Amino acid sequence: MAKQRQNLSGKVVAITGGARGIGKATATALVRKGCRVAIGDLDSSLAEETAAGLGGGTIALPLDVTSRDSFAAFLDAAERELGSLDVVVNNAGIMAVTPFAEESDDSLKRQLDINVYGVIVGMQLAIERFKPRGRGQIVNLASQAGKGGFPGIATYSGTKHAVVGISEAVRAELRGSGVEIACVMPTVVNTELTAGVGQRLIKPVEAEDVANEIVDALEVSRFDVWVPRANGALFKLLANLPRGMREGLGRLMKVDKLMTEVDHGARRRYEERAAHSRAEGGAGTVESSSGRECA
């Protein structure tokens, strides 16, 4: 029996990293559905600009996802201004493109703090609110890099494996509670996060495509949210092949070169912004966690 599509109008949604990229696209799509949206971002001025452009009563709030106190204050403020939360979207994240052996300690820590710790804290704080009410939806932005290992972004890929695994485990813990989790796994997405990355044979999607799938997963609850959807079937097929054959196909499609043969000059602006956010006292919501990632 098909699940009934839920009406999102009036739902209160909090989105991390909502000032740009997938976060902004998701906020836009949800405002169009009649949701009341709070976007949190370390870049407060850009968040305010984004919120003003979205309209619909959208609010912008400061947020550093690496600080539990900051995250709690963000959700508290969202509820004070908009009402009880129905949805929390853990979207914030960063990605460093570098050979693993050469990656700096600062880069390792920033990705772990934002991509893993930030998601864990967001989930815990959301559950703290949702479970007593017997309802609520958590959306975690992972990646198809969380389903395979990709040279050039080993640490990032590891953080996204963590998001997938944690999401699966917590989903099982919450069964029967009324609190639901969606794990979003996009392919390459055209945002600033991977500027300078060659496309090769992998067809990218747009931030709006990811946002539309998030909206659909909120309307008709599902855990695995592949973007594009066809890639879910592809990954299942590949999982049944011997490792040597899977890796051979990857080399044939140049997947192994996707994140190693990049234009680092084109990435300079993004990398400097990520590093600058750290210097200001927190590597919080630097960019959508799934912008233009690997398949």
DSSP-assigned states of every residue in the chain:
-PPPPPP-TT-EEEEETTTSHHHHHHHHHHHHTT-EEEEEES-HHHHHHHHHHH-TT-EEEE--TT-HHHHHHHHHHHHHHH-S-SEEEE-EE----S-GGG--HHHHHHHIIIIIIHHHHHHHHHHHHHHHHT-EEEEEE--GGGSS--TT-HHHHHHHHHHHHHHHHHHHHTTTSSEEEEEEEE-SB-SGGGTTB--TTPPPB-HHHHHHHHHHHHHTT-SEEEESTHHHHHHHHHHTS-HHHHHHHHHHTTGGGTTTSB-HHHHHHHHHHHHHHHHTT-----EETTTT---
Q: Out of 11, 117, 147, 156, which one is annotated catalytic?
A: 156
CB distance 12 to 86 below 8 Å: yes
Q: Is 109 one of the annotated active-site residues of the chain?
A: no
Give 87's strand partners.
13, 137
Distance of alpha carbon 150 from alpha carbon 257, whole angstroms: 9
Catalytic residue among 147, 160, 236, 270: 160
Cα gap 43→286, rounded to integer Å = 8
117 belongs to the catalytic site: no
Evaluate the CA torsion angle 96, 97, 99, 100 in order and state its sign. Answer: positive
Question: Can you tell me the distance from the alpha carbon of 122 to that of 128, in angstroms, rounded to the nearest whole number?
Answer: 10
Catalytic residues: 156, 160
